[in-house]
């Protein structure tokens, strides 16, 4: 019995050990299977990521090969190396960058960077919303403070080139020549005018804080201005003493030519015997608008012509049917630019009027806004323009026939405009010379 008992115990031990070995084997197989499944999943993920990256690179390369320049355009820039680096940078940003961002932010940054890299101070990339606002501005309707902002290369800052009559900026005491040092808490030094304008404009009823530097003042000037809905009347007119008609043009928008024609007709109807066109602080605008106005002044001939990178010449002409038959004086200053210089240069070349004031800004290049298929757009310098006598004034400006510096203190303290008085005097001289 004892031997049988011992035999039975030995069989039980052997059976238990066999079961343990089977269990260990199953556990090991389970681990191996789990590892294989994990490796498969990881492989699928890696393949997916690589496929996505390949898709992104292929998309970027195709975008460069078939862009707005025309079907079949072969990109000099976009290739697999560049596309791969963009994907890598995106990965690094996603992994390490502290703050929130969107893919739209990165895409817009890439587009802006390409335009900025050109060194074209007037070049700009517009998002869909930005181009919409730009078109509203061109139509003469926008929100803001009612000030004209220009970039001063000597100061490397933007300045107030003028204010709209009765607008928030004028009411707040802003002056022509004020340097914009800060907008709210943002340092504006070195910013182009388009960038400063973005910060100055905002929702109607909100307040923008400007820090200004004014010549003759020891301390900065701090001003809070409430933004208003600005419906820009770009032409102002009145019949002054001695029946001298005055027409001030603040900018060349799509509405400006009709406003000018109406103002000129009214002044003639009131018995105007001479016309002063005031373009001081007029930074330019729409070239076609400037030419439309010129067609109500000039004799038959070329108003201005442009030449692009391919030496293509485009002429803007006048039929002479509405040539002005009154003495004319153009009033300009160093902030009269672009389209203002087109009009002034044509008047001077044809001898249709005299130019009074100070040398103009000197912007003799033309920008074109090119719409893109997704609704965005780019603005690029596309050509140089020349006055009827073949003069390109870029970088030099138009020198007035009668040079007169504005007496700033007298203008802002007493409302006395010595440049306007000089323009009136020229009208009188033309009358005297005609008799």
φ, ψ at 255 (rounded to 5°): -85, -10
φ, ψ at 17 (rounded to 5°): -65, -40
Dihedral sign, CA of 195, 198, 201, 206?
A: negative
Which whole-number Å values give the CA distances from 291 to 303, 338, 340, 414, in the listed order? 7, 12, 10, 36
Residue 54 C-alpha from the chain's centroid: 35
Strands 274-278, 244-249: pairing kind: parallel
Hey, is 416 helix, strand or coil? coil
What positions carry a catalytic annotation? Answer: 338, 349, 363
Residue from 341, 354, 360 nearest 424 by CA: 354
CA dihedral 207, 151, 348, 287 (to 10 degrees): -70
Which whole-number Å values give the CA distances from 234 to 43, 105, 263, in the listed order? 66, 35, 11
Structure tokens at 53: 């990256």
Query: What count of Cα atoms within 13 Å lies in the side-chain half-sphere of residue 322?
Result: 12
Q: Are 181 and 157 in contact (CB under 8 A)?
A: yes
φ, ψ at 146 (rounded to 5°): 75, 45
Q: Which residues contact 58 (CB under 8 A, 6 or more apart)?
A: 83
The residue with tokens 């330019």 is: 284
Q: Are 351 and 297 in contact (CB under 8 A)?
A: no
Q: Which residues contact 108 (CB under 8 A, 6 or more apart)?
A: 125, 127
Burial class (CB in 10 A: 0-12, 13-18, 19+), 46: exposed
Q: What are the DSSP calls for 175-243, one per residue?
A: -TT-EEEEETTEE-TT--HHHHHHHH--STT-EEEEEEE-TT-SS-EEEEEE-EEEE---EEEEEEGGG
171-201 in b/e burial notation, b at 16+ Cβ within 10 A?
ebebbbbbbbbbbeeeebeebebbbbbebbb
């Amino acid at each position: 019995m004892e031997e049988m008992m011992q035999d039975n115990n030995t069989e039980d031990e052997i059976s238990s050990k066999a079961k343990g070995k089977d269990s260990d084997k199953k556990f090991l197989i389970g681990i191996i299977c789990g590892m294989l499944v994990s490796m498969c999943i990881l492989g699928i993920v890696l393949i997916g990521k690589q496929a996505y990256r390949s898709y992104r690179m292929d998309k970027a390369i195709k975008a460069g090969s078939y862009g707005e320049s025309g079907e079949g355009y072969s990109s000099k820039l976009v290739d697999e190396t560049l596309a791969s680096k963009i994907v890598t940078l995106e990965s690094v940003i996603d992994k390490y960058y502290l703050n929130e961002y969107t893919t739209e932010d990165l895409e817009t940054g890439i587009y802006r960077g390409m335009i900025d890299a050109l060194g074209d101070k007037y070049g700009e990339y517009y998002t869909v919303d930005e181009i919409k606002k730009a078109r509203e501005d061109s139509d003469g309707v926008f929100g803001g403070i009612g000030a004209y902002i220009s970039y001063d290369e000597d100061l490397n800052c933007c300045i107030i080139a003028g204010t709209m009559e009765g607008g928030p900026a004028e009411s707040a005491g802003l002056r022509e020549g004020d340097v914009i040092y800060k907008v709210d808490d943002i340092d504006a030094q070195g910013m182009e005018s388009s960038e400063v304008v973005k910060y100055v404009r905002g929702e109607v009823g909100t307040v923008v804080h400007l820090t200004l530097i004014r010549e003759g003042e020891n301390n900065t000037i701090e001003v809070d201005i409430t933004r208003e809905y600005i419906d820009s009347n770009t032409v102002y007119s009145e019949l002054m003493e001695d029946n001298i008609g005055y027409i001030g043009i603040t900018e060349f928008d799509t509405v400006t030519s009709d406003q000018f024609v109406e103002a000129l007709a009214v002044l003639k109807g009131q018995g105007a015997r001479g016309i002063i066109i005031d373009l001081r602080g007029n930074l330019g605008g729409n070239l076609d608008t400037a030419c439309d106005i010129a067609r109500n002044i000039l004799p038959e001939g070329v108003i201005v012509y442009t030449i692009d990178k391919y030496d293509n010449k485009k002429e803007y002409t006048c039929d002479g049917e509405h040539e002005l038959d009154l003495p004319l004086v153009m009033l300009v200053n160093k902030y009269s630019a672009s389209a203002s210089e087109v009009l002034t240069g044509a008047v001077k070349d044809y001898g249709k009027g005299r130019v009074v004031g100070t040398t103009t800004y000197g912007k003799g290049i033309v920008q074109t806004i090119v719409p893109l298929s997704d609704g965005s757009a780019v603005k690029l310098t596309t050509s140089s323009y020349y006055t009827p006598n073949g003069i390109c004034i870029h970088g030099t400006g138009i020198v007035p026939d009668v040079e007169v510096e504005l007496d700033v203190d007298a203008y802002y303290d007493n409302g006395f405009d010595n440049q306007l008085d000089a323009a009136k005097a020229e009208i009188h001289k033309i009358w005297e010379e005609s008799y």
